[in-house]
Structure 1
């Protein structure tokens, strides 16, 4: 008992030294939770102007107009100081003719992506500022193509405003809380399909296509909210379809502004489906509807007549595992009205394909044992019709910019530096902004002319951050790879103490996320929890970041091996990782730990329980503990329904293996987690208690999945995890 007390006392003293900046340790927890010491500057809120010579950006609550060539500020297009009650501009969009600006203010989040806000219309000709609607807060306000109207949703119904007289038209009136949603998505579509704005204008602005969600039969989940000073907690209920349960019934409708009539789109007789995307094609009055079956292994494109609602099946693709939802986002219709481009994994790697409107394959545009990660667009104004995309062709750890013509020829690599590139290309493809970073360099933002791929100027180089990094002498990423028992090569990197000595032995903490298609090991700057990991190296730990099987960028066979048995291969890989690390002369094999958040928390729990005696300690933050508690779209995509694959749900649940716990386990969860419910932590704790296992747990009242809300929350979290490791690893 005395030894244990002294150990914890010394750990607390050491933590105090770290967080107050004494001695050689220079990073404090507050540096990355409160002070913004490592804030990375970038160039955001970019809108390319129609004339091709200017772009605008939101800076210090002002919309500024910049000359592309010189970089000089040409004009202050709108100053947020003129908004009511000194509101901040959250985002903005121009009408097609750039005569008006739609300004989002007072954005209030609902869940991860959904929100309500107050919107304003600013007329650049008259310099007038007008509130979009005085009838209540709105969501997802969007200009019509001609800029004469703005559509939005409010309280489960769809509306639009005629800007000539600011008259408001209600498109639907069936919306009802917890029953019918028009024009916005339900919780599970928002979380798993990244869909919130569930409507779109036709190219001429004559029609509005929109979703309706009937969630009447979807079961509710309830959470209690613990408000300070309240005698009784508030009961919050919302629709959440867990694996195997009923989803909302989704239908697609088309509203004709001229007739004020709604037409129902024919999307087939099967109701237990998903509609991840709708979009208007380049053919007049033709709506594209993407349909997935419940198991998400069959992908269809329907073409719907916008006037009659009649549909035809234009394309179908089936998989033995599951569809990558990126295929829906990559779908691009060409101006000729005869073709579309879409991505697919038929070759075992994600590539781009050209099809006719009838679904006949014309050609595969890209090929090789590498993946197209981002389809940027096609410049149809050029004779060769160049296609721009980011890929892993040079390395799975990198993202490089390429172009190729519509015949799949003349492939050219445009980016010239190792690392990670992302691109914001102007609508006319004349210019692009490249955001580049690498393992040793934070984001550099540069402007390029597309025609000759010449850099015009540097927009941001993060010199201040570079100085901070240099002054702190951060640990460099030391990349490595190793083979598992079945000869699978896994990639990782180590962060070592700056005074690292080969002859010493160090404790190792493995960090992973491991979810399907994810990737933590890249030739990119920082990464999740990077500065906390740096702090741990200053305390004498080695941090190992490793990607297991099931993660992305290495092809279908590597990623989709986990199909129908999530957790099995990931756990095996991290046990193998512990064996490999433990064999290194500089690693103390008796002091190896693992941690993760969300899916990573699921894996860290499972690995500790199944991985004795290779792991001493694990931390699980907001973990799934049984996939039976998680939502339909995500879970069934990878495991099918629990009714059809019960073993896939139970064989690798941490709850199933709770009795095997031998090491130190810290379980952390927010009681207000609308995504991975607190129920997961409660039931794992019950299983551990029933098995007579001692462990540590902590809950954050009313905090959601990210455990951020409230003063000092993240500081408290990282300090608690640091203290736990000091005492238990």
Structure 2
């Protein structure tokens, strides 16, 4: 779930791996029924010490990459000879290398080490650098830290925040003129003049419950709302969110290990049906003064203000508001001076509507781009600012996956899509004039492609991978997609992977009981013999925020599965309906109020179809595992189909859906009390009495996302019904169960030993 999902996404959708899991569609062309993706002639056995200790197979990225606004190139961080990081510019065409900022220039004093740069941003003119360092977590991401400004002309390094405590600043950014920087500190917004060093506190009511310029746990996690303020284009005003968390129940976590006596951590966390924080948006002068609050209609605790931006000028805001059920998304134009609002358009569904991230004002602010699923597929539109009338830019029975850039000067919008097979991703561009002109820019190279485009869209940092090849990062020119330079090839890790003993990897399709086609992959042992019977282990996620079947590099999980095949297991995964795949509106919304029900029915249907197709799968030795939402689906498979699944490993699951947060769970399962019956039916804990197979339940006690509380409730339910199972709690580990030396290797080792004991490779 985003619980599980947003963790899952952050672990999978990274610039390093460019892994994008997407699935196939019955209404679209797809890969052949049993397309063989890869095989290997390697001879080496994978060792966990190499995988988790030595990092021998780690595919690495190039760090934060930034295009300069003036088109002179892109910048990356590179390790300096004497320690620290140099900030280096490469010319996009010639690839001439220029060190713009030496590591030695980033020493706070002559006796101190250079700053360890976690992230950075450039002023519009490229003459000043804003550096983020000394970071720590706020909720689940590292948004707290220290900020420094480096002036390339004077070579002066300046720390922001005055005498602020270390690692207490958030979201610092230059004003349009790069003479001031605004930031959040302890739930208040400040502006600091770079010349005079004068700090002006703009908001003064921030405290434990009033949050200015940033967000609470649930909005950060589920709407990806973190940075909560925006400079106006003229630099005279700042628009910002304010949250009031008073009344939101506090969740308490206990830490038993880090001190002599247990310590408690409390934070506002609204579970299903509970009180949300009140949200409002205001505009205030950047030099200090009163806030004008936008008069967006509706109860601020029963609606979400999910997106806000300046509306192509410095006098209006464009605000998107979702109802609490999330069935309706409304777009408003708000007057920054008076607070008056005018509704422009609505997206209305019977399930949930999507908010729009990729929105840009064009035509001198007279219109803006929009994404909508109103045609049945996600497409790009242009909305007239005065009337709200929409005109179509892209069309067809396929989805726009992500808008990368809108280049009004050239008349193109650049986006990611995959009309022919939802298992892959490619770069396209479409004409902004509505003529329907569409061009695919990615060459015929099956796999997953991602791009960071230059401002003029003439160049891009391009990352490519497939199931057999780790990510390769290169510089290309556009629109011809000509390779200029390989930036990162991960060749050493690729060579190590190529030496591993591996069997055949196949993509396939099977039908659910209603005829809907489901995509899957199958990994066979290296010494596979079709005349033998093999145990099979399914990996499942199955929720609306991710897919598991894609032609892309699978990272650590894929290597773990490779290890299982070397032990003699078949490994498979199937994407059930409802996964976040470019297969249209109906595919994604089909699981509304049916998470854990129809999702696992599809998994069971796929298993039955595979048993009929392939005699080498032993139907008496079937295992399944998953993490987070996949842990929930694993429990549902074991409890709902006990005769079909014999072994399950559920990591950080949500056994009772009412224990998860409002935004995620109400979006997919409905509101209480009217949906109470569906919550009960779709929660795995309701069916725990049916357990027959062997269950391994694993959870981190420090999980602030999917709370340990849920697994504890499941333990009690299983005990009540006399069910034996294996149970392991990792002290103070969060949702990823990864903190602490040796944790990941310990977890995977435990999983392998559990499989070998309860799902033996040799048939009884």
Q: TM-score, normalised by structure 2?
A: 0.89
Deviation of 1:114 after TM superposition, in Å, equals 4.7
1:273 is aligned to 303
2:125 is aligned to 97
Give the distance between the partners of 1:474 and 1:88, measured in 2 at CA: 40
Matched, 1:394 2:420: yes
Give the distance between the partners of 1:173 and 1:476, measured in 2 at CA: 62
2:253/2:266 contact within 8 Å kept: yes
1:414 is aligned to 441
Give the distance between the partners of 1:74 and 1:287, measured in 2 at CA: 40
Give the distance between the partners of 1:295 and 1:682, measured in 2 at CA: 29
Matched, 1:523 2:551: yes
2:459 is aligned to 431
> Greater shift after overlay, 36-45 or 153-162?
36-45
Taking structure 1 as reference, are residues 114 and 245 closer, same or farther at Cα in structure 2, changes over 3 Å only? Answer: farther
3-state secondary structure, aligned to 2:562: helix
Deviation of 1:617 after TM superposition, in Å, equals 0.2
Instruction: Choose the corresponding residue for 1:256, options 285, 309, 324.
Output: 285
2:248 is aligned to 218
Instruction: Choose the corresponding residue for 1:43, options 62, 67, 85.
Output: 62
1:695 is aligned to 725
1:242 is aligned to 271
1:10 is aligned to none
Matched, 1:567 2:586: no
> Greater shift after overlay, 75-84 or 36-45?
75-84
Give the distance between the partners of 2:437 and 2:739, measured in 1 at CA: 50
Deviation of 1:582 after TM superposition, in Å, equals 2.9
Q: Deviations over 1:589-633 (max 9, x none)?
A: 111010000000000001011112111100000000111000000
Matches within 5 A, 1:75-114: 75-79=99-103, 82-84=106-108, 85-86=112-113, 87-114=115-142
1:250/1:275 contact within 8 Å kept: yes
Deviation of 1:123 after TM superposition, in Å, equals 0.8
1:154 is aligned to 185
Give the distance between the partners of 1:444 and 1:239, measured in 2 at CA: 42
Deviation of 1:115 after TM superposition, in Å, equals 2.5
1:512/1:595 contact within 8 Å kept: yes
Deviation of 1:676 after TM superposition, in Å, equals 0.4
Instruction: Choose the corresponding residue for 1:139, options 167, 170, 177.
Output: 170
Give the distance between the partners of 1:429 and 1:531, measured in 2 at CA: 36
Give the distance between the partners of 1:269 and 1:609, measured in 2 at CA: 42
Give the distance between the partners of 1:24 and 1:420, measured in 2 at CA: 28
> Greater shift after overlay, 146-155 or 185-194?
146-155
Deviation of 1:81 after TM superposition, in Å, equals 7.3
Deviation of 1:240 after TM superposition, in Å, equals 0.1
Matches within 5 A, 1:107-506: 107-133=135-161, 134-136=163-165, 137-177=168-208, 179-228=209-258, 230-258=259-287, 260-271=289-300, 272-325=302-355, 328-382=356-410, 385-406=411-432, 407-416=434-443, 417-506=445-534
> Greater shift after overlay, 123-132 or 351-360?
351-360
1:65 is aligned to 89
Give the distance between the partners of 2:199 and 2:503, measured in 1 at CA: 58
Q: Deviations over 1:20-74 (max 9, x none)?
A: xxx9762122333232111113333111123323211112222112122232321
1:509/1:595 contact within 8 Å kept: yes
3-state secondary structure, aligned to 1:603: helix
Matched, 1:33 2:63: no
Give the distance between the partners of 1:621 and 1:475, measured in 2 at CA: 27
2:25 is aligned to none
3-state secondary structure, aligned to 2:461: strand
2:676 is aligned to 646
Q: Deviations over 1:357-406 (max 9, x none)?
A: 13533421111111100111211112xx1111110212111111111101
2:7 is aligned to none
Deviation of 1:529 after TM superposition, in Å, equals 1.1
Deviation of 1:344 after TM superposition, in Å, equals 0.8
Deviation of 1:496 after TM superposition, in Å, equals 1.1
1:513/1:600 contact within 8 Å kept: yes
> Greater shift after overlay, 627-636 or 43-52?
43-52
Matches within 5 A, 1:625-664: 625-664=655-694
3-state secondary structure, aligned to 2:601: helix
Q: How many corresponding residue pairs?
A: 701
1:543 is aligned to 571
Give the distance between the partners of 1:642 and 1:174, measured in 2 at CA: 33
Give the distance between the partners of 1:354 and 1:476, measured in 2 at CA: 46
Give the distance between the partners of 1:99 and 1:476, measured in 2 at CA: 53
3-state secondary structure, aligned to 1:279: strand
Matches within 5 A, 1:707-726: 707-726=737-756
2:537 is aligned to 509
Aligned-pair RMSD on alpha carbons?
1.7
> Greater shift after overlay, 217-226 or 474-483?
474-483
Taking structure 1 as reference, are residues 393 and 359 closer, same or farther at Cα in structure 2, changes over 3 Å only? Answer: farther
Give the distance between the partners of 1:24 and 1:661, measured in 2 at CA: 40
Give the distance between the partners of 1:157 and 1:537, measured in 2 at CA: 53
Give the distance between the partners of 2:369 and 2:503, measured in 1 at CA: 43
3-state secondary structure, aligned to 1:396: coil
Give the distance between the partners of 1:362 and 1:141, measured in 2 at CA: 36
Q: Deviations over 1:152-176 (max 9, x none)?
A: 1111111111111111111111111
2:254/2:263 contact within 8 Å kept: yes
Q: TM-score, normalised by structure 1?
A: 0.94
Give the distance between the partners of 1:160 and 1:257, measured in 2 at CA: 7
2:72 is aligned to 53
> Greater shift after overlay, 606-615 or 520-529?
520-529
Give the distance between the partners of 2:214 and 2:244, measured in 1 at CA: 12
Give the distance between the partners of 1:145 and 1:172, measured in 2 at CA: 21
Give the distance between the partners of 1:610 and 1:32, measured in 2 at CA: 35
3-state secondary structure, aligned to 2:684: coil
Give the distance between the partners of 1:696 and 1:702, measured in 2 at CA: 19
3-state secondary structure, aligned to 2:265: strand
Give the distance between the partners of 1:49 and 1:539, measured in 2 at CA: 50
> Greater shift after overlay, 637-646 or 620-629?
637-646
Deviation of 1:80 after TM superposition, in Å, equals 6.3
> Greater shift after overlay, 76-85 or 439-448?
76-85
Taking structure 1 as reference, are residues 340 and 535 closer, same or farther at Cα in structure 2, changes over 3 Å only? Answer: same
2:617 is aligned to 587
